Amino acid sequence: MNALEIRHDLGASVTVRDGGTELFRYVYRPDTVQLESPKPYIHPLRTRAGKVVSLFRPHDHVWHKGIAWSLPHVGEENFWGGPTYIHGRFYVQLENNGTQAHRLVTTLDRADGTATFAHDLDWTTQSGALFFTERRTLRASLISPHAWALTFETRMTNVSGTDVTMGSPTTKGRENAGYGGLFWRGPRSFTGGQFVTEEGLGGDEVRGRRMEWMGFAGRHDETDAQSLVLMLDDTANPSHPPQWFARTEEFACLNPAPFFSEELTVEDGETVRFRYGVGIADADASAAPALADAVRQALTRSDTPSARAAGSSSGRFATE
């Protein structure tokens, strides 16, 4: 398989390429307006065949941006974007849209068939208070001629001077709206696509269920080609396995939501860690179990040197 290439546009973004295909661009210093809670995002996101499987700033939710680490309720602050859910008043636009601001690049590396980028960020409220510092790491690897994996890790340290509770609209009183965390927004053409889980095709009754992984199979306009996007929760994450916020109707999205129905309190000075694997394949829903296995192994290898040196996986999406 091709070796990945990584390009750094200083002060703006990094791009990872697979030969002639740009797999993704990670914009770490966006020009987002305050109302949309400025934060780094991944877009465009592509399959190895070059099919775009993300959507940027859709008109219905302009704060949705490809794949982004988005938290709607951090104490009383909003690092998701747009209005804040207030029980009894529904959504209200407040002056609480915080910023995840890039501070320092710590890793830019291509080795052992992977491309890695890591940086430090500051989480600052709209009023200017520093809530969290963060070390974020993204790592891409090819797992078959038809698929690749992205691992996403964040370590957030509470520096606010007080305990901070992370939650969702559901923990604030809105039923079945527990979104927040690593959020993927799919292309318009994926609307009405298929969920797939380890139990098979998921139908519509998946929101709020606990699962290690979930996939979304969708079709592209013009070509009618199919692509598969899959997200997998690390076993060490808080609240593993997570409850999922996922939709096929109105729009396509996947979100392993760690605070869906229970708040997480991060004590002052404490560091909380989350890790995820994302699989992107030129495939249909039937490939999801094999893709999940390959992404799980990629996530494991990204965690320890000994695991990275271990053998390859087997099956349709065997690591090469």
- List pLDDT tens digits, range 220-230: 999 999 999 99
Chain Cα centroid distance, residue 194: 19
Q: What is the mean pLDDT of residues 42-56?
A: 98
Please give the pLDDT value at position 206: 87
Q: How confident is the model at residue 2 (pLDDT cuts 50, 70, 90)?
A: low
Residues 6+ apart with CB under 8 A from 139: 114, 115, 116, 117, 150, 151, 302
pLDDT at 307 over 50: no
Q: How confident is the model at residue 319 (pLDDT cuts 50, 70, 90)?
A: very low
pLDDT at 303 over 90: no
pLDDT at 315 over 90: no
Tell me how far apart the alpha carbons of residues 238 and 153 are, in angstroms, rounded to a whole number. 13
Nearest to 58 by CA among 43, 69, 39: 43
Residues 6+ apart with CB under 8 A from 95: 126, 127
Question: Which tokens belong to 285?
Answer: 């829903």
pLDDT at 311 over 50: no
Q: Which amino acid is at 53?
A: V
At 51-101, the pLDDT tens digits run: 999 999 999 999 999 999 999 999 999 999 999 999 999 999 999 999 999
pLDDT at 112 over 90: no
Q: What is the mean pLDDT of residues 276-280?
A: 98
Report the mean per-residue pLDDT for the chain. Answer: 93
Please give the pLDDT value at position 1: 55
Contact status, residue 202 vs residue 258, Cβ threshold 8 Å: no
Residue 66: C-alpha distances to residues 44, 184, 188, 253, 263 (Å)? 7, 6, 12, 10, 25
Residues 6+ apart with CB under 8 A from 66: 41, 42, 43, 44, 45, 54, 55, 56, 184, 185
pTM of the model: 0.94
Chain Cα centroid distance, residue 183: 5
Tell me how far apart the alpha carbons of residues 28 and 77 are, in angstroms, rounded to a whole number. 21
Alpha helices in the chain (DSSP H): 288-301, 305-308
Task: Please name each of the domains of the chain with its CATH number.
Answer: 4-299 (2.70.98)
Chain Cα centroid distance, residue 276: 7
